[in-house]
Amino acid sequence: MNTKVAAESAAASPAKAPRTKAVKKVVPEVKVEAAPVSEPEVSKPAKAEKAAKPAKVKRDSFTFPESDYEKISELKKTCLAMGINAKKSEILRAGLHALAALDQEGLKSMVSRVEKIKTGRPLGSESEK
């Protein structure tokens, strides 16, 4: 049986060919200069206008008398009754736009009606004790 296996394995493997030395062919390089090709003019599509970026926001804090703070709450309720859900900052910004639309005399009159208060944080807060 061993002779049979050896014969089968010898038949399965290919015969080795004698090694030959590879010969490199030397081919002279030929430089071919191509005629300059003018690039066809391609019109670039107009850039799509970018969507307007939202304005940068600035965070700040203000001191309000309680009565003015209540007015903001009343204005929010009035807006809500009209179907407008307005935030405190939107109410304040709307007020700024209304003041900016006034002439100088109207602005002077409105600003002079505002009670002058001491600025800063109230003394009764826990963080300052």
Q: Can you tell me the distance from the alpha carbon of 84 to that of 95, in angstroms, rounded to the nearest whole number?
A: 16
Residue 50 in any domain: the answer is no
Whether 2 is covered by a domain: the verdict is no
The model carries a pTM of: 0.50
> If you average pLDDT over residues 68-84, what whole number do you get?
95
Residue 85 in any domain: the answer is yes
Q: Write down the pLDDT at residue 62.
A: 81
Is residue 13, in this structure, part of any structural domain at all? no
DSSP 3-state assignment of 75? helix
- Could you list the residue range(s) of the whole structural domain that residue 100 is in? 66-117
Is residue 87 one of the residues assigned to a domain? yes
Counting every residue, how long is the chain?
A: 129
- Asked whether residue 100 is assigned to any structural domain, the reply reads yes
Q: How many independent structural domains does the chain possess?
A: 1
DSSP string, the chain: -HHHHHHHHHHHSPPPPPP----PPP------PPPPPPPPP-PPPPPPPPPPPPPPP--------HHHHHHHHHHHHHHHHTT----HHHHHHHHHHHHHHS-HHHHHHHHHHSPP---S--TT-GGG-
Residue 46 has pLDDT above 90, yes or no: no
> Quick check: is 71 in a domain?
yes
Return the minimum-mean-pLDDT range out of 16-25, 62-71, 107-116.
16-25
Residues 114 and 64: their CA atoms lie apart, in Å, by 11
- pLDDT, position 86: 94
Examine the pLDDT at 58 and tell me if it is beyond 90.
no
Q: What is the pLDDT of residues 84-116, one digit of tens each?
A: 999 999 999 999 999 999 999 999 999 999 888
- Computed over every residue of the chain, the mean pLDDT equals 76
